[in-house]
Amino acid sequence: MVLSLTNTAPDFEAQFKALLSGKREVSEDVDQIVRDILEDVRARGDEAVLEYTERFDRLQAASMAELKVTSAEIEAAVREVPAQTLDALQLAHDRIYAHHSRQVPKDDRYTDPIGVELGSLWTPVEAVGIYVPGGSASYPSSVLMNAVPAKVAGVERIVMVVPSPDGVLNPLVLAAAKVAGVSEIYRIGGAQAVAALAYGTGTIAPVAKIVGPGNAFVAAAKRRVFGTVGIDMIAGPSEVLIIADEGNNADWLAADLLAQAEHDTAAQSILITTSSELADQVEAAVESQLKMLPREEVARASWQDFGAIILVNSLDEAMPLSNRIAPEHLELAVADPEALLKKVRNAGAVFMGHHTPEAIGDYIGGSNHVLPTARSARFSSGLSVLEFVKRTSILKCNSDNLRALGPAAIALGEAEGLSAHARSVSIRLNI
Amino acid sequence: MVLSLTNTAPDFEAQFKALLSGKREVSEDVDQIVRDILEDVRARGDEAVLEYTERFDRLQAASMAELKVTSAEIEAAVREVPAQTLDALQLAHDRIYAHHSRQVPKDDRYTDPIGVELGSLWTPVEAVGIYVPGGSASYPSSVLMNAVPAKVAGVERIVMVVPSPDGVLNPLVLAAAKVAGVSEIYRIGGAQAVAALAYGTGTIAPVAKIVGPGNAFVAAAKRRVFGTVGIDMIAGPSEVLIIADEGNNADWLAADLLAQAEHDTAAQSILITTSSELADQVEAAVESQLKMLPREEVARASWQDFGAIILVNSLDEAMPLSNRIAPEHLELAVADPEALLKKVRNAGAVFMGHHTPEAIGDYIGGSNHVLPTARSARFSSGLSVLEFVKRTSILKCNSDNLRALGPAAIALGEAEGLSAHARSVSIRLNI
């Protein structure tokens, strides 16, 4: 039985709050181990990375050079990938590239009414590291979603790290890296790979920013190197909220809820609907589709532990709930999604109408699938070109407008007790 | 004697690397204390905040309502501020508002060649908390720099917290809050104030993002609540790099170096110049101006411990060094600053020519003075309207273009072992 709520029930607010504040992640306390690994790699470089790779990935190498993936290996991997999949990767790449090209911010230089020249200039981050998990969560689509925005931004050097436990590397991931134009690839992972990217080693030059998902060790390492390098957000388990009116195909909605649930036992799928009949149909459809899924066990655990169906009287009542949930993915499976979209305040990505299952956005829509989880859409956005550029402010006074603005700057400097600030202005005005 | 380097010296690279990697901050280990305070405020709300405020700020209050600053108190504070200073605050506000208004990102909705509708919609963060330090670092200019971009972004609720040790509150800070349009002000500080903003209490509704500078306790608290709310960057000590050719007034440059040095003993002022004569003149001018400064002791410590003068053969040689330093503030005190600007890759803000002392940007230029420190301009930007908005991606397929894109999504879903993803597409295509 999945959690079922009705927004007219007397205890609804309490139950909804519990749903909002429910912890879906067990945080592993790996911080001490990670700290030691980071310090060791910082001190001993390549040698330390080689040792940890042997210990954790059971992969022996005589030198870091051996852990660098060669172009011959990449070509061999590409040949292993079926043509249809390769075409799909290329189509995904091209659509992601086209969409993200619209996100490149424009420089702004202008002169204000008193003649002061101001501006904002954007430049790409010079070198970026992309972490790609190994094993079953080694997704080629994530390679594209992280690398393409960096490429569009103009990042010159994109370094990918991907662990190959027991030497196994997903050929699709190498194919995606090639399609995306990744510059260097190393088969290393864990905190040691994050350290190598952040601090650099004899073989690997340091990067300025590290992005990409990873396990608890990777997340802890990213938190710790933040400051030395930039990082993207720390992603939590995935989630979808579907808002549906009565005119829906219950099987389609059930499939969408399960597409989210199959990610992870901690994933969350929520349906808010105005139709109690649809609610019942979807619940039944989920049950029957679950039995067909290769990842039934994962999806079932997610749906039973964290899934929910919420019945509301009107779509208007659905939107405040949605904005409080601040879902990573929001499907507006309603007759008039544009009307509801106007009321969306907090959501990572919105999928409009009946023909936009969330999985289209995961792969091929063109928008990014790296999106804010765990209610962080209240204050953050999905990955974009903006994460790979930075802005420099420009200010240019001449002697005339310095004379116009100077006295106010001097007054504020003196008021703050910062006389040298005031003096750096007054000395130029001879006052 | 300040550190003097010449880029043709054989040991220059080693000395420059040491300058780059020098630690200027002593990190206080306050994390355990902060963790306990956060947990306590989360559990006991107002009551806990009142207790910590009494303990740390020696300020007794019977209820949180008493710690809320009333409009009568704000009006009284405004009356205490000299008219000239109030005018300066208003001018600063208006110029900051005008500059930041150009940063508001535009929504983007479009239809791609196969009819898929895509887009990016921007919405303001709903509620923002601004931390303002107490005591001597309680700067009205920082209130403007943090609050105005939020206001321009359309943030509805801006909550300011500012500790008042022994009941003392800087009237200028209240005046700046009024000028900026801050919604609520509480005289609380430290980790307890950060916790109150992040988790909410009986009196204070939670916010979605917290910005503003603070001491080690505040910084540790912000790091810990990150995820529950958004935070801005954790600011380090301030720094300036001046690149100067021979045509400079040494007294002006010395004043600018000292304006930075007076902030903090850990501040850093660096001069790179092509003229050994100017280098000597500036060094002498710094020495003689130091004696005139009320904050001589702070500025002298900063200059002696972290200041540097670097002699180079040409301005072209200066720029790669500047980009490696990635300074928070970069003054281009040269005849042709536009030519050098083209080579700037990493810098928080650039001050062009001889008539733009950095202090103009601190107060009145219009650009933001919250800028990336400690080489983080390699991957991050100064505070802007973008920190107070978030982007929602929009995707809308119809049955035709879902049919066009579907097979590629299905191929990638299956290739990643995510059958339910594939199924959510195929079920709509009857395949």
Report residues of chain A scoring pLDDT below 70. 26
Sorted by sequence, the CB contacts under 8 Å of residue A292 that are 6+ apart come out as B423
Known binder of ligand: residue A263? yes
Give the pLDDT score at A340: 97
Yes or no, beta carbons of A425 and B360 under 8 Å apart: yes
Among chain B residues, the shortest Cα distance to A228 is held by B376
For A44, A50, A56, A190, A211, the CA distances from A40, given in Å and listed in that order, are 6, 12, 15, 13, 22
Angle CA A393–A395–A397, to nearest 5: 180
d(CA A279, CA A140): 35
How many other CB atoms are there within 10 angstroms of residue B190's CB atom?
A: 26
- Shortest Cα distance from B233 to chain A (angstroms)? 9
Strand-pairing partners, residue B73, are none
Residues of A in contact with B350 (CB under 8 A): 392-395
d(CA B355, CA A114): 14
Which tokens sit at A232? Answer: 């993207």
b/e per residue, B393-410, with b = 16+ CB within 10 A? bbbbbbeebbeebbbbbb
Yes or no, beta carbons of B393 and A259 under 8 Å apart: no
Residues of A in contact with B354 (CB under 8 A): 428
Provide the ipTM: 0.95
Yes or no, beta carbons of B347 and A392 under 8 Å apart: yes
Strand-pairing partners, residue B330, are B241, B350
d(CA B231, CA B226): 6
Give the residue from A96, A354, A380, A424 with the most B CB atoms within 10 Å of its CB, the best one to mutate.
Answer: A424
Known binder of ligand: residue A421? yes
Q: For chain B, report the end-to-end CA distance as a whole number of angstroms.
A: 78
Yes or no, beta carbons of A350 and B392 under 8 Å apart: yes
Task: Provide the residue ranges of all domains of chain A, joining segments of one domain with +.
Answer: 31-231, 236-378, 399-429
d(CA A281, CA B388): 41
How many other CB atoms are there within 10 angstroms of residue B292's CB atom?
A: 11
How many other CB atoms are there within 10 angstroms of residue B32's CB atom?
A: 9
Burial class of residue A209 in the structure, from the number of CB atoms within 10 Å of its CB (0-12 exposed, 13-18 middle, 19+ buried): buried
Torsion angle of the four alpha carbons B193, B199, B201, B205, in this order, in degrees rounded to the nearest 10: 100
Architecture category of domain A236-378 in CATH: 3-Layer(aba) Sandwich (3.40)
- A-B C-beta contacts closer than 8 Å: 368
DSSP E strands in A28-154: the ranges are 108-111, 117-124, 127-131
Sorted by sequence, the CB contacts under 8 Å of residue A289 that are 6+ apart come out as A251, A254, A255, A258, B420, B423
Torsion angle of the four alpha carbons A322, A323, A328, A330, in this order, in degrees rounded to the nearest 10: 40
Yes or no, beta carbons of B381 and A397 under 8 Å apart: no
Yes or no, beta carbons of B293 and A428 under 8 Å apart: no
The residue written with tokens 């790409």 in the block is A124
pLDDT digits (tens, 9 = 90+) for A293-334: 999 999 999 999 999 999 999 999 999 999 999 999 999 999
Under CATH, what is the fold of the domain B397-429? Answer: 1.20.5
Angle CA A253–A255–A260, to nearest 5: 100
Phi and psi at A374, nearest 5°, equal: 50, 45
* 3-state secondary structure at position A111: strand
Among chain B residues, the shortest Cα distance to A338 is held by B396
> CATH for A31-231?
3.40.50.1980
Share of chain A above pLDDT 90, in %: 93
Residues of A in contact with B357 (CB under 8 A): 424-425, 428
Residues of A in contact with B264 (CB under 8 A): none
Burial class of residue A301 in the structure, from the number of CB atoms within 10 Å of its CB (0-12 exposed, 13-18 middle, 19+ buried): middle
Known binder of ligand: residue A369? no
Q: Could you tell me which of B368, B90, B253, B357 has the C-alpha nearest to residue A402?
A: B357
d(CA A192, CA A61): 15
Yes or no, beta carbons of A359 and B425 under 8 Å apart: yes
Give the pLDDT score at B24: 79
The CA R_g of chain A, rounded to the nearest whole Å, is 25
For B155, B166, B174, the CA distances from B162, given in Å and listed in that order, are 20, 13, 10
Q: Which CATH superfamily is domain B237-378 in?
A: Nitrogenase molybdenum iron protein domain (3.40.50.1980)
Angle CA B127–B129–B133, to nearest 5: 170
Catalytic residues of A: 328-329
Q: Could you tell me which of A177, A126, A107, A196 has the C-alpha nearest to residue A388?
A: A126
Residues of A in contact with B136 (CB under 8 A): 417
Sorted by sequence, the CB contacts under 8 Å of residue B354 that are 6+ apart come out as A428, B248, B249, B252, B333
Catalytic residues of B: 328-329
Phi and psi at A254, nearest 5°, equal: -60, -40
Among chain A residues, the shortest Cα distance to B116 is held by A365
* Residuewise pLDDT in 10s, chain B (431 residues): 899 999 999 999 999 999 998 877 767 789 899 999 999 999 999 999 999 999 999 999 999 999 999 999 999 999 999 999 999 999 999 999 999 999 999 999 999 999 999 999 999 999 999 999 988 778 999 999 999 999 999 999 999 999 999 988 999 999 999 999 999 999 999 999 999 999 999 999 999 999 999 999 999 999 899 989 999 988 889 999 999 999 999 999 999 999 999 999 999 999 999 999 999 999 999 999 999 999 999 999 999 999 999 999 999 999 999 999 999 999 999 999 999 999 999 999 999 999 999 999 999 999 999 999 999 999 999 999 999 999 999 999 999 999 999 999 999 999 999 999 999 999 999 87
Give the pLDDT score at B121: 98
d(CA B262, CA B266): 10
Q: DSSP string spanning B31-84?
A: HHHHHHHHHHHHHHTHHHHHHHHHHHH----SSHHHHBPPHHHHHHHHHHS-HH
> Cα A247 from chain centroid?
33
